[in-house]
Amino acid sequence: NAGVTQTPKFQVLKTGQSMTLQCAQDMNHEYMSWYRQDPGMGLRLIHYSVGAGITDQGEVPNGYNVSRSTTEDFPLRLLSAAPSQTSVYFCASSLTSGRPTDTQYFGPGTRLTVL
């Protein structure tokens, strides 16, 4: 198993550009999520999905869209990039989508810079 994979590893955007961060997992996990990590702060939840076709907002959803058309993939779209979105983005997945969330396993991260 590859686990949780993310592409790209690094990305530089100009303000106003759009892009999609890719996330995939091959563990048949129900739950997938996106976090951002800013210096001196912990991870903050952007969006999450409890299964294919179902998504919901986390703590900091503004400026981001997600979709979950398959169990394996959970892309994160930046609609119009802003410098405030400069961050490291982590995708995570867990086997179950119970409440509370089961143990999450993280991808390697995408370092995004918006100029």
Partner 1 sequence: AQKVTQAQTEISVVEKEDVTLDCVYETRDTTYYLFWYKQPPSGELVFLIRRNSFDEQNEISGRYSWNFQKSTSSFNFTITASQVVDSAVYFCALSGHNNDMRFGAGTRLTVKP
Phi and psi (nearest 5°) for 24?
Answer: -140, 150
Consecutive H or E run containing 13: strand 10-13
Of 54-73, which residues contact partner 1 (CB under 8 A)? Answer: 56, 58-59
- In angstroms, what is the minimal distance from the CB of 18 to partner 1? 25
Q: Cα separation of 69 and 77, whole Å?
A: 14
- In angstroms, what is the minimal distance from the CB of 110 to partner 1? 11
- In angstroms, what is the minimal distance from the CB of 82 to partner 1? 23
* Residue 10 within binding range of partner 1, rule CB under 8 A: no
* Helix/strand/coil percent split, the chain, to 5: 5, 50, 50
Of 18-37, which residues contact partner 1 (CB under 8 A)? Answer: 31, 33, 35
**Nearest CA to 17 among 61, 86, 78?**
78
- Contacts with partner 1 by CB under 8 A lie at 31, 33, 35, 40-45, 48, 50, 56, 58-59, 88, 90, 92, 97, 99-106, 108-109
